[in-house]
Amino acid sequence: MRLLLWYWGRRGGGGHVALALARALGRRADVEVSLSLSAQADLLPEFTALGLPIDAVPTYASAAGFAAGFLRVPSLSRRLRRQALEFRADAVVSVMTHLWTPLIAPALARAGLRYVPIVHDAEPHPGDPSLFWEWRLTRELDAAIAAIALSDSVAAGIARRRPALPVHRLDHGAPLPTSGGTAPRAADGTVRFVNLGRLRAYKGLDLLRDAWPMVAARHPEARLLVAGEGDAEGLAPGLSALPGVEVRARWLSEAEMGSLVSGADVVVLPYREASQSGVAPLAHGFGVPVVATPVGGLVEQVRDGLDGLLARETSASALAEAMIAACDGATRARLVAGARETALRLNDWDSIAERLVDAMGTILARAD
């Protein structure tokens, strides 16, 4: 099987997922892999070290570069098609959508190339602009011979849109390497909650803000760190003024993400909606339990009572109850043990790659 992995993102968790998949696929004797990557990708040196054939295409590193880059889209589309044809790719697998993907995917199909996207979201998140989003996904699914979803929730969303399109499931593996281990726990028994990632309306920072005073009333020694790029105060006014809360509203490097998660006692995800979360497998990959609201793919990613806790409903009071329960030492020890067990599965990228190969075998057999 010959697969061209296509990922033009510059930074973020998608690059680590693409790198982990490429590394695991490259170890297989039954698969040949070629890569189409952004020349501006932060992880390009790590990809290059794999020794796989790579075409590093010029994308952009700024808003101005994005606008100017539109002029290159036709030539980049031809370049990707040429790479796939010369490699004799059985399929082009898009690891994560890019702003230019909907402009290029239809041309792959017209050239007779089999296009299979890994779909991270089947519906726009509440509060996000939906017009361009709908156009993008429509063009991608129309060009695809099949799709791969990272949660049953997303798979169901794709099926609603395209009932005839084959959809296969793949686990969202731990996106960061965990060889550094976890940071030592606080000697004074302080429970350190962390919420991190891009700060968006659907991620429920206002729920977390309203839940925190209830948690702090029961456990005044507890601490909460909210970190990520976005307007935390705009989303949850007054959050940063709460006792025991620290807000770092800025972009986090992968190294910072790993350090913050590995140093946490609990990762908290107060989402109002979720296809799935890249932060949940990041936490579990480090053996850190997750407290989350019971929405979308989060109910699949968090094994309630085993490697985390799901709030009984999506409300501040229910979230506070779950966070308070996680402050209990015996409960948290049980959840940590479960999270470490989950880490074994999510860090096993060879098994994840094997399931991808099995899915692609089924997809290609059906397409022939």
* DSSP code for 286: T
The two structure tokens encoding residue 292 = 């989350």
The two structure tokens encoding residue 204 = 């429920």
Assess whether 215 and 314 both reside in one domain.
yes
Assess whether 57 and 196 both reside in one domain.
no
Least confident of 21-35, 131-145, 296-310: 131-145
Mean pLDDT (whole number) for 182-203: 79
Is 288 part of any domain?
A: yes
Is 186 part of any domain?
A: no
Assess whether 263 and 168 both reside in one domain.
no
With a cut of 50, say whether residue 52 has pLDDT above it.
yes
- What are the pLDDT digits (tens) for 73-104? 889 999 999 999 999 999 999 999 888 899 99
List the CATH number of the domain containing 24: 3.40.50.2000
With a cut of 60, say whether residue 337 has pLDDT above it.
yes
Least confident of 171-185, 187-201, 244-258: 171-185
Assess whether 116 and 215 both reside in one domain.
no
Assess whether 342 and 354 both reside in one domain.
no
Assess whether 131 and 253 both reside in one domain.
no
Is 292 part of any domain?
A: yes
Mean pLDDT (whole number) for 31-42: 94
Is 184 part of any domain?
A: no
Assess whether 266 and 134 both reside in one domain.
no
Q: Buried b / exposed e across 107-121, counting CB within 10 Å, b at 16+?
A: bbbebebbbbbbbbb
Is 275 part of any domain?
A: yes
Is 185 part of any domain?
A: no
Assess whether 161 and 201 both reside in one domain.
no
For residues 173, 174, 177, 182, the Cα torsion angle rounded to the nearest 10 degrees is -150
Q: How many secondary structure helices (H) and strands (E) does the chain include?
A: 15, 13
Is 187 part of any domain?
A: no
pTM (predicted TM-score): 0.88
Assess whether 159 and 125 both reside in one domain.
yes
Assess whether 335 and 216 both reside in one domain.
yes
Assess whether 252 and 338 both reside in one domain.
yes
Beta bridge partners of 267: 194, 290
Least confident of 31-40, 185-194, 228-237, 349-358: 185-194
Task: Identify the pLDDT of residue 219.
Answer: 95
Bridging pattern class, strands 192-196 and 223-227 = parallel
Assess whether 169 and 41 both reside in one domain.
yes
With a cut of 60, say whether residue 182 has pLDDT above it.
no
Q: Buried b / exposed e across 151-169, counting CB within 10 Å, b at 16+?
A: bebbbebbbebbeeebbbe
- Work out the angle between the directed axes of helices 349-367 and 13-26 (0-180°, nearest 10): 80
Give me the domain span that covers residue 127.
Answer: 2-173+348-367
The residue ranking higher by pLDDT, 54 or 136, is: 54
Mean pLDDT (whole number) for 21-41: 95
With a cut of 70, say whether residue 64 has pLDDT above it.
no
Task: Identify the pLDDT of residue 135.
Answer: 86
Number of domain units in the chain: 2
The residue ranking higher by pLDDT, 261 or 177, is: 261
Tell me the three state secondary structure of residue 345: helix
Q: Buried b / exposed e across 209-230, counting CB within 10 Å, b at 16+?
A: bbbbebbbeebeebbbbbbbeb
Is 178 part of any domain?
A: no
